[in-house]
Amino acid sequence: MFDIAARAVRILPAESAHRFIIDALKMGLAKPQPQLDDPRLAVTLRKSGLKLPNPIGLAAGFDKNAEVFAQMLAFGFGFVECGTVTPRAQAGNPRPRLFRLDADRAVINRMGFNNDGIGYFVRRLSAAPRAIGVIGANVGANKDSEDRVADYVAGVKAVWPYCGYITINISSPNTPGLRGLQDRGALEELLGRIGIAARDMDAAVKNRPLFLKVAPDLDDKAISDIADVAKAQDWLSGLIVSNTTIARPDTLASKHKGEAGGLSGAPLMKKSTAVLAAFHAEVGDSLDLIGAGGIASADDVIAKLRAGAQAVQLYSALVYQGPMLAQRIKADLVAMMDSRGAERLSDLNAA
């Protein structure tokens, strides 16, 4: 039923469809029965110790204002990342700014961090029962900010007590100059200042894993610079690889392929997995890696695990496959483990 409803809303313009789904979820119109996961799906991330009932997360951008994380956990996600949230509310870019590329099973967005601001976000998160599940808070900088690093520090401090982990998003292509924070010098300054805040916060509330979310549009030098700077920060738990791409593969066939913004979904799978593997080659097991980009099936999840991810996230495939996708992928992973006599998910990594 949920999947039929999801298909029906695809006749709406993409952003109206998204708003409709969030409102329907908020009103309780779609209430799945939460199910316990097969214990073999549970993972504990090595560095951060973050415990997930299953490794399939909802990527940032779906629940920007922390409105429907409980419902999305009930749809079977092992963790839900809310945001990106900025200190002050902002409208984002003019519409249209979200496009479905049906023939490519892809999405292009140039939303530009539209969100209601950190105050609203924290109120919603703090009202959630503690035991609800793993909720991540993805923080960013306001477009017109004079001190972007200060925005990240403010975001980290504000969400720290109320979430399961924090993501520092420096990889959106839709805020001009933001990706420049991935450059070695800028990244050192950013992580240096967040590190000071993290140590202060840790004195009051312990063990809040922090992740850095990176772009897939990085050459080998940039990957090795980011890996070096990240490894030098003992408080940093790991990397989320990756955000959307500004590249446009030749294979794209949809009429919206020329729209500006970040491309996600199936055409991002290969590239983001290659960048994930390159980061894994640099950092080994010294940082937790979460793989995102183009995941639409259990095979895609296994490809990310093989490339070095300990957990994964998806978003765009939900647009095409509906909200039961996490349940389906988990069922397929369990069936694979059964047929191979595997005792845990990592046993599927071996070819």
Ligand X SMILES: Cc1cc2nc3c(=O)[nH]c(=O)nc-3n(C[C@H](O)[C@H](O)[C@H](O)COP(=O)(O)O)c2cc1C
Counting contacts by CB under 6 A, is residue 316 touching ligand X?
yes
Q: Round to whole Å and give the CA distance between 249 and 136.
A: 31
Query: Which one of residues 48, 54, 138, 327 is an interface residue with ligand X (CB under 6 A)?
Result: 138
* CB atoms inside a 10 Å sphere around CB 117: 15
Catalytic residue among 172, 242, 264, 316: 172
Structure tokens at 234: 């003992």
C-beta of 339: minimal distance to ligand X in Å? 26
Q: Which stretch binds ligand X (CB under 6 A): 46-54, 120-128, 276-284, 287-295?
A: 287-295
Counting contacts by CB under 6 A, is residue 337 touching ligand X?
no
Query: Which one of residues 139, 314, 329, 337 is an interface residue with ligand X (CB under 6 A)?
Result: 314
Question: Which is closer to ligand X, CB of 12 or CB of 196?
Answer: 12
Counting contacts by CB under 6 A, is residue 165 touching ligand X?
no
Query: Which one of residues 21, 82, 278, 292 is an interface residue with ligand X (CB under 6 A)?
Result: 292
Structure tokens at 203: 């004195």
Q: Round to whole Å and give the CA distance between 139 and 156.
A: 7
Q: Which stretch binds ligand X (CB under 6 A): 22-30, 179-187, 222-230, 310-318?
A: 310-318
Query: Which one of residues 155, 294, 308, 322 is an interface residue with ligand X (CB under 6 A)?
Result: 294
**What is the chain's percent helix, strand, coil content, to nearest 5?**
45, 15, 40
Angle between helices 220-231 and 269-283 (to 10 degrees): 50
* CB atoms inside a 10 Å sphere around CB 106: 28
Residues contacting 296, CB < 8 A, separation 6+: 105, 265, 266, 269, 314, 317, 320, 321, 325
Interface characters, 191-230, with ligand X (x: CB under 6 A): ----------------------x-----------------
Query: Which one of residues 315, 323, 326, 348 is an interface residue with ligand X (CB under 6 A)?
Result: 315
Counting contacts by CB under 6 A, is residue 60 touching ligand X?
yes
**Angle at 99 (CA atoms; ends 166, 245), nearest 5 degrees:** 50
Q: Is 172 a catalytic residue?
A: yes
Query: Which one of residues 43, 111, 194, 301 is an interface residue with ligand X (CB under 6 A)?
Result: 111
* Residue (of 334, 337, 332) closest to 350 by Cα position: 337
Question: Which is closer to ligand X, CB of 40 or CB of 172?
Answer: 172
Q: Round to whole Å and give the CA distance between 305 and 238.
A: 15
Catalytic residue numbers, as ranges:
172
Report the interface residues with ligand X, using CB under 6 A. 59-61, 64, 83-84, 98, 107, 109, 111, 138, 169, 172, 213, 243-244, 264-265, 268, 292-295, 314-317
